[in-house]
């Protein structure tokens, strides 16, 4: 549990009653029996039991202590099968704040973020992580809502500086890495996209996915920089399982989650950048619901901290001009198809979350609940086909007496 130190000022809304997560607040303030029952309702049961923690190597914990980041590790199990061996994959999620003020030289900002992430990636590697995912636009401040074009300088090709930086770790630790960047598409007129690059465990680029849904809410009007992606809903078959990336705002769209599941995803990562005032009540619900509805694991990553920009901007929602988006509340977590989930990382500290997942659980939940089997895709497809036509009329049956005047 991390509480404010004496004399240390907390960022506004960065903590909950002096605690950096709801889980830690409850654990410290409820008696053990009450906490067990509350935890059962909040985080569910994995195969009928409370989620187990993992003891990580001393080398990983040493990185955490030396560099001051939150480190938590949990294990999702599946029932033992007679015809299949367990398919356990170790996943890592990194959340972080920026390293220098946004007024610093762009070269220095980017270099400082790289340096900041090195020990966190090394901790993931020493912990034996197979698939590592970084937060949305990890290689820069989240400047997209300022509407200032100068931040486009951070954009880079898929095989650019950030990818090359991460490729060395992928090879060193035999690790797949998901890197969400601001992409500059050199082959198509240098158009900019919000893109996740999938780096294979041999350092190769497996592919990329571009953000499908662009927000236009509050400060988050990102279409100044990039528009909706054109890569569909790809699933990447890696050495450690079939994975997909639902970038940030796409988590609000159930059909987006569904499409990744229809394409066979076993783990869907949601690299994000979202603030407490806008979305925190949704955060623990949407990803968990997606995991349940689609019978796959969901790994959610959110950046941390308050990023203040040199020039004030407005939201178009009547609020006075301001220089920050609010507090990025971290709280990265993993949800399983059986409705269990991990506690969240800190709301105000950098962090690494490690989770073992037995991917056999995906099929076991499909067999138990039969969501895929009992879905009526032909009905949904028919409704959608009619809905997208200009002459669509909703299927509404009105009471014939609804507008009849009383005699």
Distant-in-sequence, close-in-space partners of 234: CB < 8 Å, separation ≥ 6: 207, 209, 244, 263
Instruction: Map the chain to HEC letters.
Output: CCCCCCCCCCCCCCCECCECCHHHHHHHHCCHHHHHHHHHHHHCCECCECCEECCCCHHHHHHHHHHCCEEEEEEECCCCCCCCCCCEEEEEEEECCCCCCCCCCHHHHHHHHHHHHHHHHHHHHHCCCCEEEECCCCCCCCCCCCCCHHHHHHCECCCCHHHHHHHHHHHHHCCEEEEEEEEEEHHHCCEEEEEEEEECCCCCEEEEEECCCCCEECCEEHHHCCCCCCCCCCCEEECCEEEEECCHHHHHCHHHHHHHHHCCCCEEEEEECCEHHHHCCCHHHHHHHHHHHHCCEEEEEECEECCEEEEEECCCCCCCCEEECCCEECCCEEECCCCCECCCCCCCCCEEEEEEEECHHHHHHHHHHCHHHHCCHHHHHHHHHHHCCCCCCCCCCCCCCCCCCCC
- The residue assigned the tokens 């989650």 is 257
Report in angstroms the alpha-carbon separations of 263 from 195, 206, 259, 271, 357.
19, 17, 6, 19, 20
Question: Annotated active-site positions, please?
Answer: 136, 211, 248
Burial class, 270, CB count within 10 angstroms (exposed 0-12 / middle 13-18 / buried 19+): buried
What pLDDT does 407 receive?
Answer: 61
Q: Which residues of the chain have pLDDT under 50?
A: 1-12
Q: Which of 260, 161, 170 is nearest to 209 (CA)?
A: 260
CA–CA dist 262, 247 (Å, integer): 17
Query: What is the spatial distance between Cα 70 and Cα 92, in angstroms, rounded to a whole number?
Result: 13
Whether residue 244 contacts residue 263, with contact meaning beta carbons closer than 8 Å, is answered with yes
pLDDT score recorded for residue 5: 40
For residues 362 and 357, what is the distance between their CA atoms, to the nearest angstrom? 10
Compute the distance between CA of residue 308 and CA of residue 49 in angstroms, rounded to an integer: 43
Q: pLDDT by residue (tens digit) across 187-240? A: 999 999 999 999 999 999 999 999 999 998 988 889 999 999 999 999 999 999
Q: Tokens 């900019």 appear where?
A: 192
In the chain, the N- to C-terminal Cα span, in Å, equals: 70
* pLDDT on residue 168: 98
The span from the CA of 104 to the CA of 112, in Å, is 10
The β-bridge partners of 328 are 275, 305
- Domains annotated on the chain, with CATH: 12-379 (3.60.110.10)
pLDDT confidence of residue 13: 65
Strand partners, 183: 156, 193
């Amino acid at each position: 549990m991390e509480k404010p130190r004496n004399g240390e000022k907390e960022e506004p809304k960065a903590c909950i009653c002096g605690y950096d997560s709801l889980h830690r607040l409850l654990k410290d303030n409820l008696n053990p029996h009450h906490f067990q029952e509350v935890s059962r309702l909040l985080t569910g049961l994995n195969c009928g039991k409370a989620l187990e923690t993992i003891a990580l190597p001393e080398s990983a914990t040493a990185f955490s202590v030396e560099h001051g980041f939150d480190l938590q590790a949990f294990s999702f199990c599946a029932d033992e099968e007679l015809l299949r061996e367990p398919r356990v994959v170790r996943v890592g999620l990194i959340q972080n704040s920026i390293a220098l003020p946004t007024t610093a030289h762009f070269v220095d900002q980017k270099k400082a973020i790289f340096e900041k992430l090195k020990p966190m990636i090394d901790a993931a590697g020493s912990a034996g992580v197979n698939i590592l995912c970084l937060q949305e636009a990890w290689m820069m401040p989240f400047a997209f809502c300022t509407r200032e074009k100068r931040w486009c300088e951070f954009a880079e090709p898929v095989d650019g500086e950030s990818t090359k930086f991460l490729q060395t770790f992928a090879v060193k630790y035999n690790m797949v890495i998901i890197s969400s960047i601001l992409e500059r598409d050199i082959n198509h007129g240098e158009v900019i996209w919000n893109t996740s690059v999938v780096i294979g465990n041999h350092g190769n680029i497996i592919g990329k996915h571009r953000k499908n849904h662009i927000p236009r809410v509050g400060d988050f009007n990102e279409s100044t920089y990039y528009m909706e992606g054109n890569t569909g809903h790809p699933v990447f078959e890696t050495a450690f399982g079939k994975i997909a990336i639902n970038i940030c705002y796409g988590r609000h769209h159930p059909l987006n989650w569904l499409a990744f599941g229809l394409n066979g995803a076993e783990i869907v990562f949601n690299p994000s950048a979202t603030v407490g005032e806008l979305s925190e009540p949704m955060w623990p619900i949407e990803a968990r619901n997606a995991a349940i509805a689609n019978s796959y694991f969901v790994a959610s990553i959110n950046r941390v901290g308050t990023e203040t920009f040199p020039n004030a901007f407005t939201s178009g929602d009547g609020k006075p001009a301001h220089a920050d988006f609010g507090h990025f509340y971290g709280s990265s977590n993993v949800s399983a198809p059986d409705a269990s989930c991990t506690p969240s990382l800190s709301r105000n500290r950098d962090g690494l979350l490690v989770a073992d997942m037995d991917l056999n659980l995906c099929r076991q939940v499909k067999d138990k609940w039969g969501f895929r089997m009992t879905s009526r895709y032909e009905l949904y497809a028919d409704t959608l086909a009619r809905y997208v036509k200009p002459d669509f009329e909703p299927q509404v049956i009105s009471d014939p007496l609804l507008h009849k005047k009383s005699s």
